[in-house]
Amino acid sequence: MMKEIIQNYGYLIVIFPLLGALANGLLGRMMQKRYGEMPIGIIACASIFFSFIFSIIAFLSVVSMQNNLVIINNLFNWISIGYLKTDISFLFDPLSVVMMLIITGVGFLIHLYSVFYMKGDPGFYRYFAYLNLFIFSMLVLVLADNMLFMFIGWEGVGLCSYLLIGFWYEDMKNAVAGNKAFIVNRVGDLGFLLGIFLLFSLLAEQLSAGGALSLANGNSSILSFSFLAENVHLLGGINIFGMSAVTVICLCLFAGATGKSAQIPLYVWLPDAMAGPTPVSALIHAATMVTAGVYMIARLSFLFSMSSTALGVIAVTGAATALLAASLGCVQNDIKKVLAYSTISQLGYMFLAMGVGAYSAGIFHLMTHAFFKACLFLGAGSVILALHHEQDITRMGGLRRFMPMTFITFIIAAFAISGLPPFSGFFSKDEILWSAWSSSNGHPLLWFAGFLTAGMTSFYMTRLAMLTFFGENRSGLIIKESPFLVTAPLMILAFFSLFAGFTGVPEALGGNNMFSHFLDPVFGIQGGAAHHDTMEYVLMSASVLIVIAGAGLGYLLYGHRPQLARILPEKFRHLHKLLYNKYFIDEIYDAVFVSGTKMFASFISAFDKYVIDLIVNIFGFVLRIEAMIIGWFDLHFIDKAVDLIAEFTLSAGSGARKIQTGRIQAYVMLMLFAVTLGILYRLIF
């Protein structure tokens, strides 16, 4: 019953937010002017809420199926040319329903929160149109049944992110940040596209060579995930550019993921993206969009599993990003920047999980991260609002007394992200660390990177909490707790940050790892108890210890003896400067790529203007010179000859002239004379 609903009407999940976006985008300005903000907020929230209800139905119907947990809702054929056939169709399986629930659930809460946060903004309607459009794109991304359709969502979220980062476009800084985000993402997207092309062309080649596919009956959708999963083994033995084809494809796709999910080397846009409104940072740049890369790799796990080289690259990139971003997070003073770097760092964790083949652990962390990071961002938003858009943590402090609800939820989420048991982050992070150590693709060094990151995470979260909520109130403002519309989402998210982990308690701790078993079919794992040994307990305790150590250090520096926090940066001035300026990566990129491209463009343009056009003009000029030479030649030789003839004629004529009148009659006479001569000639010869 429920299955039929989803099979036939599953697309409604995506349609509701789209309708909301259209309604607000096209009629919003009029509505806001005439009826105020109420109808806009209601439309936006209601559309997401409907979508959320449908998502629950989809989830339940997937859960209720015994085997083959896949429902496909095929809408219509999109492109069908040659071998390329893609449909607009939606795929419901455990992976996509989990993502869908996160997106619509967290999305709905953030919509509610935004209604208050954006109150009084002249672009209120615009904001909600973009936000609904974002939910639409994100749902398309996770529900798409084939890679090209997925790419619509992939770029769609990028577009919404661009629009929302630059939402307050009157400040050029925000607009530039939006541009940066989109263009950096485009670099990754290029990789993604090339990956798709390679995958498609190689598969089409193999299939048509094997006779499994011909243009006449090319009605199997090569790029659909189910088709790929069945046929991707055909690429096994192929080499291109001296590498195995699968590795090249995976690396291309991973390039796309590094762009979207802010990994080395394309992470630079995310900190700048904090220029957008805070709920946007929570939804797009923490909970959902940035995890798209992780989702994509999980979705294509069958492909990535074929290339241990690619997985290795992913794992190392993830681990390195986690460490790098965590180190940067320790010194930032902007509350949102700290959270941004922590997001990058946590995404690094997820990629680490993907890279060691622990897909479900990665998705598990994705989910818990969505809850606690959304909670942290929304808490930060609450603080920022209360402080009249102050974001510098050195000018906060002591807020716990004024904003108890914000404080409590923030602390719960901070515990969760630090990975303190029994908060949700503990379980997900622990599973990743254990996989990094024990999986066949894992390596103790990968574990160690994750382990260090865990310590740094708890350090900078403690620092953040200390500077924001403890000590003296350094803002000099009278601070009030935010209203219920703000704190309610915070409470719900805090609740999940606290308890979401229990869906995936590992066997080692007596749980049954429900979450991972739910996802197992997607990743082609055939049930069975996971092995565990005493090492798992050792590592678990070690990570708990380093978390506590990190938190202790944070407390020591920023809570217990604040003066130390001031002395240390001066002691290690160079290190601090390097970290504070983010290793000067932005400046390097700017100098090398941005200025480089611009200079190259100016060069090409100058080339066009001064060389190509010059050639054309030279061509014209040469023609003119030639014309002049010919003209000169004409004047002095040809014309001279003519003149000579004329002069001769003249001088001859001037003789004859004396015996002629030179008038009409004379001509007639001449004519007569000539004719007579002619006749005489005929007569004589």
Partner 1 sequence: MEIIGIQSYLIISLIMFSAGIFTTVSRQNIIGIFMGIELILNSAALNFAAFSRFSAINLEGQAFSIFIIVLAAAEAAIALALLLSIYRRHKEINAEHLNKLRF
Partner 2 sequence: MPEFIGEHILTLIIFIPLFGALALLAVPGERHEFIRRASFAVTLVPLVLSVFIFMNFDRGASGFVSGEGLQFVEKYSWIEQFSMNYFVGIDGLSVSMVMLCALICPVCILASWNIDKGVKGYFFLFLLLETGMMGVFCALDFFLFFIFWEVMLLPMYFLIGIWGGPRKEYAAIKFFLYTLVGSVMMLLVIIYFYLTLHTFDMTELVASGSSLNYRMLCWWALFIAFAIKIPLFPFHTWLPDAHVEAPTAVSVVLAAILLKMGTYGILRINYTMLPDITLQMATAMAVFGMINIIYGALCAMAQRDLKKLVAYSSISHMGYVMLGMASFTAEGLNGAVFQMFNHGIITAMLFLIVGVIYDRAHHREIDSFGGLASAMPNYAAVTFLAFFAALGLPGLNSFISEVLVLIGAFQKYRLITAVSATGVIITAAYCLWTLQRIFLGKLDEKYSMLSDMNTRETLSLLPLALLVVILGVYPHPVLNLMQSALGFINGIILKGGI
CB of 248 vs partner 2, minimal distance in Å: 10
End-to-end CA distance of the chain: 119
Q: 84 pairs with which residues across the strands?
A: 81
The site string for partner 2 over 161-200 (x = CB under 8 A, - otherwise) reads: -x---x--xxxx--xx-xx--xx--xx-xx--xx-xxx-x
**Smaller CB distance to partner 2: residue 93 or 155?**
155
340's CB contacts (< 8 A; 6+ apart) are 270, 271, 273, 274, 281, 285
Question: Stretches 103-111, 145-153, 307-315, 347-355: which one binds partner 2 (CB under 8 A)?
Answer: 145-153
Chain centre to alpha carbon of residue 481: 34
CA distance 445 to 453: 12
Q: Which does 65 bind (CB under 5 to 8 A by kind): partner 2, partner 1, none?
A: none
Map the footprint of partner 2 across residues 57-76, applying CB under 8 A.
76
Among 30, 535, 615, 644, binds partner 2 (CB under 8 A): 615
Pick one of partner 2, partner 1, none as the site partner of residue 82 (Cβ within 5 to 8 A by kind).
Answer: partner 2
Alpha helix (H) residue ranges in 585-638: 585-589, 595-606, 613-633
Binding of residue 11 to partner 2 (CB under 8 A): no
Q: Which H helix or E strand runs over 244?
A: strand 243-244
Taking CB under 8 A as the rule, which mask of x and - marks residues 610-649 in contact with partner 1? ----------------------------------------
Q: How far is the CB of 296 from partner 2 (least distance, A)?
A: 15
Question: Hey, what are 169's tokens?
Answer: 């476009």
Partners of residue 72 on adjacent β-strands = 91
Calpha distance 21→43 (Å, rounded):
9
User: How many residues of this chain interact with partner 2, rule: CB under 8 A?
Assistant: 58
Q: What are phi and psi of 224, to 5 degrees?
A: -75, 150
Which residue type occupies 600? F
* Binding partner of 483, given partner 1, partner 2, none, CB within 5-8 angstroms per partner class: none
- The least distance separating partner 1 from the CB of residue 679, rounded to whole angstroms, comes to 13
Q: Verify binding: residue 604, partner 2, rule CB under 8 A.
A: yes
Instruction: Tell me how many helices (H) and strands (E) the chain has.
Output: 30, 4
Cβ closest to partner 2, residue 223 vs residue 486 = 223
Among partner 2, partner 1, none, partner that 665 touches (CB below 5 to 8 angstroms by kind):
partner 1
Q: Which is nearer to partner 1, 662 or 678 (CB)?
A: 662
The answer to whether residue 83 forms part of the interface with partner 2 (CB under 8 A) is yes
Within 10 Å of residue 233's Cβ, how many Cβ atoms? 12
Closest separation in Å from C-beta 664 to partner 1? 5
Q: Give the distance, in angstroms, between the CA of residue 518 and the centroid of all CA atoms in the same chain.
A: 28
Please say whether the beta carbons of 324 and 457 come within 8 A. no
Please give the residues from 189 up to 248 whose contact with partner 2 meets the rule CB under 8 A: 189-190, 193-194, 196-198, 200-201, 204-205, 215, 240
Among 8, 333, 581, 605, binds partner 2 (CB under 8 A): 605
Q: Which is nearer to partner 2, 601 or 668 (CB)?
A: 601
Tell which residue, 19, 93, 16, 23, has the closest CA to residue 51: 16
Q: What angle do CA 73, 75, 81 make, to 5 degrees?
A: 120
Interface mask (CB under 8 A) for partner 1, residues 664-683, using x and -?
xx--xx--x-----------
- Note whether 311 and 355 are within 8 A (CB): yes
In the complex, the residues that contact partner 1 under the rule CB under 8 A are 661-665, 668-669, 672
